[in-house]
């Protein structure tokens, strides 16, 4: 069994994965969302302190699950990059202490690769080659994963990430954190209650650009201006009607932007005779059903099979870290316990 630890942002999580089957035997996650919600975003210092409080509680539960003995463990895995350095360190120090005392190898896992492995939790096979749209709070990327060790970034955001833009729009509308699920819910209610019309006409990002890239800061600013304008006109920005309209149109434009860029990607691949057989969306924002449906249609159009992780494993969790570590364990890719460091950015070489 492999015990895995995740603490790259605001989720404290530990999992135990069976090596022979890939089965997830134990998984526990304590989210800090409620605490950070009052600040409208993650406060790193608080997140770090909470990991120091929560991770030992979960480790205690994991030990109980193992009938009070860590002896079935064959390796300790931990997220070391990318993420918030002061939160990554909490998980890393726990992993090092465990690996040292239990005399076990340590496996360092890249969080983004972890998200890709969220597709393979509870199974021993993994599917490659695979094209991936990774949409999280920190990243918006198209990744081509030829194999577990050959992954390259094909496109990225020039500014804010997709998930982050949802968080910022939610903050403008005083809807709390994380913004993604709240904005999606407000947009859905609006679409159900009324026949949605384009009232604000938010601009489609990078509309005239030929480059394959993403950008969300212009859209975010367009929303900010509409909110300010409404306030000046005495409109209640906290009314369900106003919030619903903004959330619906923002989500639609943000998703249309992703879709426009993805269509470009699919088309170029097709023109080069390189058909995409398997496509996937991973990361916290891949839980967005509106986006899932749109990408489903796109995959149908281009004859690609869409792989999705169960909703519970889209956001940060240690189960995906354990599953990514399993492949590394089988390749005997262990890190040096003494020199292993955390890093806020992906180290060069993780994505070639
Ligand atoms: O992967 P994740 O849990 O953490 C990072 O690695 O960043 O992603 C969290 C991000 C947050 O920005 C959150 O607002 C966004 O994912 N998110 C969503 C949805 N659920 C979570 N964004 C849009 N729609 C959602 N349903
Ligand atoms: Zn993540």
Distance 316 CA to ligand 1 centre (A): 9
Q: Is 247 in the pocket of ligand 1 (CB under 6 A)?
A: no
* Same domain flag for 166 and 290: yes
- The CA distance from 29 to 16, in Å, is 12
Query: Of the ligands numbered here, which is closest to the C-alpha atom of 178?
Result: 1
* Same domain flag for 160 and 296: yes
Q: How does DSSP classify residue 203?
A: P
CA atoms within 13 A on the CB side of 152: 3
Structural domain includes residue 153? yes
Structural domain includes residue 345? no
CA dist 296 → 200, 239, 332, 338, 348 (Å)? 27, 33, 36, 45, 32
pLDDT of residue 219: 98
pLDDT of residue 123: 97
* Neighbouring residues of 74: CB distance < 8 A, sequence distance ≥ 6: 1, 2, 19, 104, 105, 329
Structural domain includes residue 297? yes
Structural domain includes residue 14? yes
User: Which residue intervals of 38-137 are DSSP H helices?
Assistant: 44-65, 85-102, 111-117
* Same domain flag for 197 and 235: yes
With beta carbons less than 8 A apart as the criterion, state whether 190 and 248 touch: yes
pLDDT of residue 352: 59
Q: Is 32 in the pocket of ligand 1 (CB under 6 A)?
A: no
For residue 68, the enclosing domain spans 2-121+313-330
- The CA distance from 117 to 331, in Å, is 16
Distance 287 CA to ligand 2 centre (A): 12
Counting atoms of ligand 1 from 1, which one is nearest the CA of 179? 14
* Same domain flag for 100 and 141: no
pLDDT of residue 194: 79
Distance 284 CA to ligand 2 centre (A): 6
* Same domain flag for 114 and 212: no
Counting atoms of ligand 1 from 1, which one is nearest the CA of 83? 6
- The CA distance from 147 to 203, in Å, is 37
How many domains does the chain fold into? 2
Ligand 1 pocket check: which of 166, 254, 290, 294 to mutate, most ligand atoms within 8 Å of Cβ? 166
Distance 283 CA to ligand 1 centre (A): 7
Structural domain includes residue 19? yes
* Same domain flag for 251 and 154: yes
- The CA distance from 194 to 198, in Å, is 12
Q: Is 83 in the pocket of ligand 1 (CB under 6 A)?
A: no
* Same domain flag for 261 and 321: no
Q: Is 285 in the pocket of ligand 1 (CB under 6 A)?
A: yes
* Same domain flag for 9 and 135: no
Distance 69 CA to ligand 1 centre (A): 35
User: Which stretch of DSSP H or E encloses residue 110?
Assistant: strand 106-110
Distance 113 CA to ligand 2 centre (A): 10
Counting atoms of ligand 1 from 1, which one is nearest the CA of 115? 1
Counting atoms of ligand 1 from 1, which one is nearest the CA of 161? 12
* Atom 1 of ligand 1: nearest residue by CA position: 284
Structural domain includes residue 186? yes
Q: Is 22 in the pocket of ligand 1 (CB under 6 A)?
A: no
Structural domain includes residue 187? yes
pLDDT of residue 148: 94
Query: Which pTM value belongs to this model?
Result: 0.96
Structural domain includes residue 194? yes
**What's the CATH code of the domain at 303?**
3.30.420.40
- The CA distance from 113 to 277, in Å, is 20
* Same domain flag for 104 and 145: no
Q: Which residues surround ligand 2, an ion (CB under 5 A)?
A: 136, 316
Distance 285 CA to ligand 2 centre (A): 9
DSSP E strands in 140-288: the ranges are 140-147, 150-156, 278-282
Per-residue pLDDT of the chain (352 residues; tens, 9 = 90+): 999 999 999 999 999 999 999 999 999 999 999 999 888 889 999 999 999 999 999 999 999 999 999 999 999 999 999 999 999 999 999 999 999 999 999 999 999 999 999 999 999 999 999 999 999 999 999 999 999 999 999 999 999 999 999 999 999 999 999 999 999 999 999 999 877 777 898 999 999 999 999 999 999 999 999 999 999 999 999 999 999 999 999 999 999 999 999 999 999 999 999 999 999 999 999 999 999 999 999 999 999 999 999 999 999 999 999 999 999 999 999 999 999 999 999 988 887 5
* Same domain flag for 139 and 267: yes
The structure tokens listed for 274 are: 């390189």
* Same domain flag for 147 and 272: yes
* Same domain flag for 317 and 277: no
């Amino acid at each position: 069994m492999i015990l895995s630890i995740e603490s790259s942002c605001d989720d404290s999580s530990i999992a135990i994965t069976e090596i022979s089957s890939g089965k997830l035997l134990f998984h526990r996650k304590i989210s800090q969302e409620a605490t950070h919600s009052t600040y409208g975003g993650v406060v790193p210092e608080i997140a770090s302190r909470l990991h120091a409080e929560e991770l030992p509680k979960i480790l205690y539960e994991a030990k109980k699950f193992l009938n009070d003995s860590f002896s079935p463990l064959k390796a300790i895995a931990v997220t070391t990059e990318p993420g918030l350095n002061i939160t990554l360190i909490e998980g890393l120090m726990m992993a090092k202490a465990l690996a040292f005392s239990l005399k076990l190898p340590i496996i360092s896992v890249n969080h983004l690769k972890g998200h890709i492995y969220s597709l393979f939790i509870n199974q021993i096979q993994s599917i490659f080659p695979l094209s991936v749209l990774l949409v999280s709070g920190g990243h918006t990327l198209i990744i081509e994963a030829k194999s577990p060790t050959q992954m390259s970034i094909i496109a990225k955001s020039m500014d804010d990430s997709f998930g982050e833009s949802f968080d910022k729009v939610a903050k403008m509308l005083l809807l709390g954190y994380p913004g993604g699920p709240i904005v999606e819910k407000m947009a859905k209610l609006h679409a159900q209650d009324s026949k949605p019309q384009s009232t604000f006409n938010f601009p489609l990002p990078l509309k005239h650009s030929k480059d394959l890239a993403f950008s969300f800061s212009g859209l975010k600013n367009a929303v900010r201006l509409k909110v300010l304008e409404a306030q000046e006109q005495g409109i209640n920005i906290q009314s369900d009607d106003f919030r619903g309209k903004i959330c619906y149109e923002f989500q639609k434009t943000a998703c249309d932007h992703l879709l426009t860029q993805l269509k470009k990607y699919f088309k170029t691949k097709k023109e080069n005779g390189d058909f995409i057989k398997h496509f996937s969306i991973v990361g916290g924002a891949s839980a967005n059903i509106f986006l899932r449906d749109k990408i489903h249609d796109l995959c149908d159009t281009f004859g690609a099979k869409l792989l999705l992780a169960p909703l519970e494993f889209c956001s940060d969790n240690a189960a995906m870290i354990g599953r990514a570590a399993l492949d590394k364990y089988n390749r005997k890719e262990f890190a040096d316990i003494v020199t292993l460091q955390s890093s806020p950015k992906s180290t060069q070489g993780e994505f070639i």
